């Protein structure tokens, strides 16, 4: 399970996050100031860092900047103020995401899942192509073909198709597709998945008279080998 470092000087918040993250099955390490945070980031090799911006000893911005000198670990910054310049500064120093306090824990958990999935995806060595029936993906150029004809897909259509093909023979729920392809920006609104499945079917199933994407009623979608 992923290891998460929380750098937060407000112990009440740190303890709360620790409980919630452990409940989700993550391993949790806590640092109460910036300097300790930086040390633990280097020694413990966490999979993700939740980093408070306002910290004693070393600011969150400075911790982020120094971590980024050697590591691409996902960093989610917590800011106390709803101050645009803080967020910009955080993202400029290389944070992947930020949340303004007070935040809903469910939203932070969702963002953590997204950041960890993205990390896994980047680290997985990519096979050159992926083929199911007559549909073939070139993973390096992110292009899709039916036999030798290139399909004209938008970025999201391609990502949805690739995710379904990578997980062939498994039923994927709308929530899973939403989380992996759209990140948290459409959190909760699964209609967008149905719309894009329809686009893909128009461009592949209907155009070539095949059945690639199947609906599993009440559950989601599947591509079978």
User: In angstroms, what is the minimal distance from the CB of 22 to Ca ion?
Assistant: 21
Closest CB to Ca ion among residues 6, 177: 6
Closest CB to Ca ion among residues 101, 156: 101
What pairs with residue 145 in β-bridges? Answer: 136, 150
Displacement of CA 206 from its chain's centroid (Å): 31
User: In angstroms, what is the minimal distance from the CB of 14 to Ca ion?
Assistant: 10
Stretch that binds Ca ion, among 3-11, 133-141, 147-155, 174-182 (CB under 5 A): 3-11
User: In angstroms, what is the minimal distance from the CB of 76 to Ca ion?
Assistant: 14
Instruction: Extract the tokens encoding 14.
Output: 């740190």
User: In angstroms, what is the minimal distance from the CB of 105 to Ca ion?
Assistant: 17
Closest CB to Ca ion among residues 9, 86: 9
CB proximity list for 213: less than 8 A, separation 6 or greater: 164, 197, 200, 201, 204, 205, 221, 222, 223
Q: How many residues bind Ca ion (CB under 5 A)?
A: 3
Find the binding residues for Ca ion in span 57-96 (CB under 5 A). none
Decide: is 99 part of the binding site for Ca ion (CB under 5 A): no
Decide: is 54 part of the binding site for Ca ion (CB under 5 A): yes
User: In angstroms, what is the minimal distance from the CB of 60 to Ca ion?
Assistant: 8
Decide: is 110 part of the binding site for Ca ion (CB under 5 A): no
Decide: is 139 part of the binding site for Ca ion (CB under 5 A): no
Stretch that binds Ca ion, among 5-13, 146-154, 192-200, 208-216 (CB under 5 A): 5-13
Find the binding residues for Ca ion in span 24-53 (CB under 5 A). 52
Decide: is 9 part of the binding site for Ca ion (CB under 5 A): yes
Closest CB to Ca ion among residues 63, 151: 63
Residue 161: name the closest of 221, 121, 117 by CA.
Answer: 221
User: In angstroms, what is the minimal distance from the CB of 53 to Ca ion?
Assistant: 7
Instruction: Extract the tokens encoding 137.
Output: 């993906």
Residue 5: name the closest of 31, 32, 42 by CA.
Answer: 31
User: In angstroms, what is the minimal distance from the CB of 158 to Ca ion?
Assistant: 41
Residue whose token pair is 């938008």: 154
User: Which residues of the shown chain bind Ca ion in the complex (CB under 5 A)?
Assistant: 9, 52, 54
């Amino acid at each position: 399970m992923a290891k998460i470092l929380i750098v937060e000087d407000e112990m009440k918040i740190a303890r709360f996050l620790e409980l919630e993250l452990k409940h989700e099955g993550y391993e949790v390490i806590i640092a109460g100031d910036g300097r300790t945070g930086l040390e633990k980031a280097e020694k413990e090799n966490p999979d993700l860092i939740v980093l408070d911006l306002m910290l004693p000893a070393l600011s969150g911005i400075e911790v982020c900047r120094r971590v980024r000198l050697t590591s691409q670990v996902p960093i989610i910054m917590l800011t106390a103020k709803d101050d645009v310049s803080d967020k910009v500064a955080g993202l400029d120093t290389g944070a992947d995401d930020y949340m303004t306090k007070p935040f809903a824990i469910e939203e932070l958990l969702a963002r953590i899942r997204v950041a960890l999935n993205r990390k896994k995806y980047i680290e997985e060595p990519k096979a050159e192509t992926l083929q199911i029936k007559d549909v073939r993906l070139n993973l390096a150029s992110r292009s899709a073909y039916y036999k030798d004809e290139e399909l004209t897909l938008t970025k999201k259509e391609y990502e949805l198709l690739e995710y379904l093909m990578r997980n062939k023979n498994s039923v994927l729920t709308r929530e899973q597709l939403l989380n992996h392809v759209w990140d948290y920006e459409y959190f909760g609104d699964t209609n967008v998945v149905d719309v894009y499945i329809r686009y893909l079917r128009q461009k592949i199933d209907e155009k070539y008279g095949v059945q690639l994407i199947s609906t599993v009623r009440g559950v989601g979608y599947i591509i079978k080998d």
